[in-house]
Chain A
Amino acid sequence: MSATGPLRSDAGDSWSVLRGATRARVALGRAGDGLPTARELEFRAAHAAARDAVHTALDAGRVRAALAAAGVGLDVVEVHSAAPDRTTYLQRPDLGRRLAEGTALPAGEHDLALVVADGLSPRAVHEHAAGTVAAVLERLPGWSVAPVVVAHQARVALGDPVGQALGAAIVVVAVGERPGLSSADSLGLYLTHGPRPGRADSERNCISNVRPPHGLGYAQAADTLVGLLQAARALGASGVVLKDEGPALSAG
């Protein structure tokens, strides 16, 4: 590696030399010691989008409609975590991992349960959950899948009590990820074999950054997830013992 390379193709100096090499906010220019107004307001707009993504309320009706429109024929059940509101949710991750008291779920015997969880970006759930779930189900003929659970104020580990209550061998939680300034709508998929409260993060597998067109597409994410699901079922476990042996992922 060296500092040299085709950063520029001509000799006409311009800050685009720097800008073309990274998505970092380089060569913004200055107004005195501060940022020019336009650059300052661009930053605020990106920050506002990320903040709004965190504080948008999950619209379960919208998720239901999107699932139906995507051809998902499963029943949909709504649950809440033990965190009563967004403020508590952000400060008490422990509450976001537990079900609200008195939550009843239909016990059964299933190969898989799917949980759609608002996490830190309900916007990611609104935009990408239905497409992802539909793509996953298409690839699992013959699997017994529990009703889809839509969870409010939920952390990833809420899938553990949900999966256990539903009687699912494996749970997949599709959760809104912590928004960055350039990615306020990114969905993460977490797979846990044998869900029950107390599972460690090292017992889960994760596929991150599902957000077409800039991140992973639904089909690509579903291909990878289904590969992991089949391997987890064969192995009887998930997490660090289960590796994604497929080809390297690329954005698209």
Chain B
Amino acid sequence: MTTRRTTLAGHTYEFASLSDLLAKASPARSGDVLAGVAAESQAQRVAAQLVLADVPLAAFLTEQVVGYDEDDVTRLIVDTHDPVAFAPVAGLTVGEFRDWLLARAAERDETAISSLARGLTPEMVAAVSKLMRTADLVAVARRTRVVTGLRSTLGLPGRLASRLQPNHPTDDPLGVTASILDGLLHGSGDAVIGINPATDSPAQTIALLELVDAVIARYEIPTQSCVLAHVTTTLRALDAGAPVDLVFASISGTQAGNRGFGITLDQLAEARAGALELRRGTVGQQVTYFETGQGSALSADAHRGVDGRAVDQQTLECRAYAVARHFDPLLVNTVVGFIGPEYLYDGKQVVRAGLEDHFCGKLLGLPMGVDVCYTNHTDVDGDDTDALLLLLGAAGCAFVIAVPGSDDVMLHYQSLSFTDVLTARSVFDLRPAPEFEAWLARMDLLDDAGRVRDLAPDAPAARALLAAARP
């Protein structure tokens, strides 16, 4: 352990370890208070940021926050680090790295930033994010390009895709279908039609996969489906020959956190191999989908690293991204406000965390989306989610999640609505994924200006889609 110190306004501040320094430098967050690692004063927070700015990026390659021997995520991070990709920034400190990123963003140099990804570790990216303001997080993310594909192409400039989330409390096929059609009529669903199943039964998962596959096939929609069941359930569905487009998992930034989700890296590799064998892609072959979120390791009491020291929740979140990128995902999203106020207390914390997650994921090379959401016991409302959505639109976010009327009637939380996606596209002049946009045009769901039509139910295009709901 290297103790680092600085003096600010006559007071000397000491930081006993890299994890202590990262935690104290983090913007205020209720989860870090809960874990007992948050800065105890504003001055201590800035002192930590001053010290962190002087830490060489190369130090993160030798000094770990979670031990190499006891954690397979750390081993993955260290063993897959690419020194060639790292070379352009290898001699910089964290503070100099921030300046370097902002300079490339201002030059609109997308390749310089994007080609770093495999040379960066999660801890480096977490560190630099802690020195950045909102506008910095937006400006750099906007100039970072990550493009993926399966049956639609995601992450292209000038595009914003959405996951259509048609959840239903009992997985009722008609109820799910109604929400799918409502989303399609709003131009949603180009990232994925993704259902959180109400139970983890393999039979139910297969039934839902077949349901969405039938809708996609019937209308020849260039998108993919996902039933967000446990990976062991998806493995069963693969064995049964079900139409699996995407293998899904909730992932965490420590081996213990992943154990808490009941997953191992080997299982993820096996499931990915199974989905790849099906060759269901048309424009690409990226067949995994991961969800993350700050606080997941802490809520599983899986947030400790070297010497049992707690690691801050944002650094752990970035470590989950190292897990995701190892499996070459089509989609990754943080579910930013889902867990509750003990991790992200209010709108300010949720907005900041969402931007950090998007920035860090993109910098690490992930096709990053955000579930802009909140629970009702958190101090967040529609104005906060609008602010985050619009910031993400400016930041070049690949996709967001949308549910009917913002209200998920299965998971009992609030996400974005289909109309919110239309608003963000309109404000920033963004379009859907190109293949999906062409499909919308084919279905006569777009007007002459390329906007999703506001259709009456008896309009021919609406009738054509609603026919799916007919006996």
Report A's interface with B, CB cutoff 8 A. 1-8, 13-15, 17-19, 21-30, 32-35, 39, 43-44, 46-47, 50-51, 53-54, 90-94, 120, 178-184
Contact = CB atoms under 8 A, between A and B. Distances in A.
Given A24-B175, A24-B178, A94-B34, A17 B376 contact: no
B360 to A, nearest CB: 24
Sort A-B residue pairs by CB-CB distance and give the 4 closest, nearest first: A25-B405, A180-B412, A22-B175, A50-B376
Nearest to A11: B470
A179 B404 CA distance: 19
B214 interface: yes
A129 B342 CA distance: 26
Nearest to A96: B342
Contacts of A47: 376, 381-382, 414
B88 interface: no
Given A1-B173, A7-B470, 19 more contacts: A1-B210, A2-B214, A7-B177, A22-B178, A24-B403, A25-B407, A25-B417, A26-B181, A27-B182, A27-B457, A28-B404, A28-B419, A29-B454, A33-B419, A47-B382, A54-B377, A90-B340, A94-B34, A183-B412
B174 interface: yes
Contacts of B208: 1
Interface of B: 30, 33-34, 166-169, 172-179, 181-182, 207-208, 210-211, 214-215, 218, 340-342, 345, 375-378, 381-382, 403-407, 409, 412-414, 417, 419, 422-423, 425-426, 454, 457-458, 462-463, 466, 468-471
Nearest to B459: A13
Contact of A25 (B30, B215, B406): B406
B252 to A, nearest CB: 18
Contacts of A24: 166-168, 175, 178-179, 182, 403-405, 407, 409
A7 B178 contact: yes
B7 to A, nearest CB: 31
A29 B210 CA distance: 29
A3 B376 contact: no
Contacts of B179: 22, 24, 26
A34 B377 contact: no
Contacts of A29: 454
Q: Which of B173, B377, B406, B468 has the most CB of A within 10 A?
A: B377
A93 B377 CA distance: 13
Contacts of B345: 90-91
Given A24-B175, A179-B377, A33 B405 contact: no
A178 B469 contact: no
